[in-house]
Chain A
């Protein structure tokens, strides 16, 4: 099912949670609503589900106006951050709930319900827990059951509110891959909320970056990562070094920027060298730590003592290193992306983007 959101706003008391949002989601898309806490992403998801009603604007499902339809009529599957499984019911009863509350005319028979529940349990690979209670399951298992329960009513849209937020790193990683595969198998329009840029980049077909109730950018993971529309999107997606402007004649001179400008440089784009070159910035090694396949080096600018984070692959580090605290190096800022008043300067965007993903 395709979803269109036209100029939707939602206010809680004096807090503008969602502000004039326009968004079109085609059938079968896998969308991430990405933003910091308080950016309105969960509110937008709840507006789509019908758990909140907008103050203004329209929400269309397959071009039909659903703005004032209630939750029940929208037939969406909703997965909550804290699972929201029914504590007093077994896993079987939890999954069967959506089928059992149907009016008698549309209610499947007992055998049909049983068949469906076991199909879903098989889908989420948890057949053995049917007769247990939610409290006897781990967090990851509970979230998979919550998903099975949402899928039991054959929703045309699946909405997930920070589905992996309460899980530990390893389980989260496993579930990401699993959910991605599940989406490919079932091809239901899926929208999930996350504040984790890595999760959004890894899973989604489309990323909607949100901030302060507004959409900052919509695009594929590659688009938003490589061609961020503004400073917020750039700084929110991945680690960055920020370069503040200073009194300078031209807009950009090496690593120096003029007033009213702000520059961003990702750690892996900071090129280090032991030899000075044109436009390079003299720095001093402050701290070196290796994280798996890459090495992170904190360097200190000699002109104003601010710290910059650089990241090298282990191979590269072996080639030009090793470095120790206090070593003199030269940093190159050619890849810096410069913004003025929140808008990007087009010509500063990197021309080749393939190397950054």
Chain B
């Protein structure tokens, strides 16, 4: 190869490398701009708006009785919905992943319904079921049980909306693991409980935790379905997201953003735990 040709080729590859670099930085730039505009900026706005009238007002907005009751109700809802969906999620995932039965595909489709329908419709379904004009309304009224416009309705709607998280997370993990280890435990003399707690559970624990975190995030943040069934009674049936809406509609922006910042903070904590769990399970898988 002549020196000239060599130089030409070198020049070309240098050009190629430069355009490759250019493409790389352009892509990164676009992605970062997008993220900044749609994720970071709103977050910053939430926190800056919340504290714009001073830190004392911020704290006050979070500690007034209605806000505290909203926080309490949100925590109660999550405390019921997450364990319930964890238990049912494990059971459903187990049935689907490890057994063959008729109607399995229908069951898988049913599990996806809460994701497929709009949350508002989910809320309406509960109103139609338990409301005073609803299917079970007369019975509930006769027995003096209040579901709609009460805490039971909120919990029910939240359980419904957050049902798929744990199941969806566990099915692929359980399917991948098959039944060998469980069968081995049985042949070694373990009973059903020992098999579950010593073999099945340790194998799915990171996936399960991940599903529970997502379930919890949604349970605390759910708006649509809860809004339909809650009745928005201040201090009684208001969850955090509903409380934010009410404050906002009353032009009480500082308080609205203060409460919203609490939800945002919760989301951030959830994301950090989620990343940690992902990192842990990734590490375990690669070992």
Contact = CB atoms under 8 A, between A and B. Distances in A.
Interface string A38-62: 0000000000010100000000000
B22 interface: no
A101 B182 CA distance: 13
Interface stretch (A82-90, A268-276, A301-309, A317-325): A82-90
B104 to A, nearest CB: 13
Contacts of A84: 180-181, 183-184
A260 to B, nearest CB: 43
A60 to B, nearest CB: 19
Contacts of A80: 180, 183-184
Contact of B287 (A51, A135, A153): A135
B187 A97 contact: no
B187 A49 contact: yes
Interface string A53-85: 000000000000000001110011110101011
B280 interface: no
A242 to B, nearest CB: 38
A97 B180 contact: no
Interface string A110-149: 0000000000000000000000010100000000001001
Contacts of A101: 185, 188-191, 194, 198
Contact of B186 (A72, A77, A146): A72
A338 interface: no
Contacts of A49: 187
- Please tell me the size bucket of the interface on B: 10 to 19
A22 B165 CA distance: 49
Contacts, number: 62
A334 B194 CA distance: 63
A78 B187 contact: yes
A148 to B, nearest CB: 12
Closest 10 pairs (CB-CB, A-B): A98-B188, A84-B180, A78-B187, A84-B184, A101-B190, A71-B186, A88-B202, A101-B194, A84-B181, A80-B180
Given A86-B198, A86-B202, A149-B184, 4 more contacts: A77-B187, A78-B187, A84-B181, A153-B189
Interface of A: 49, 51, 70-72, 75-78, 80, 82, 84-88, 97-98, 101-102, 133, 135, 146, 149-150, 152-153
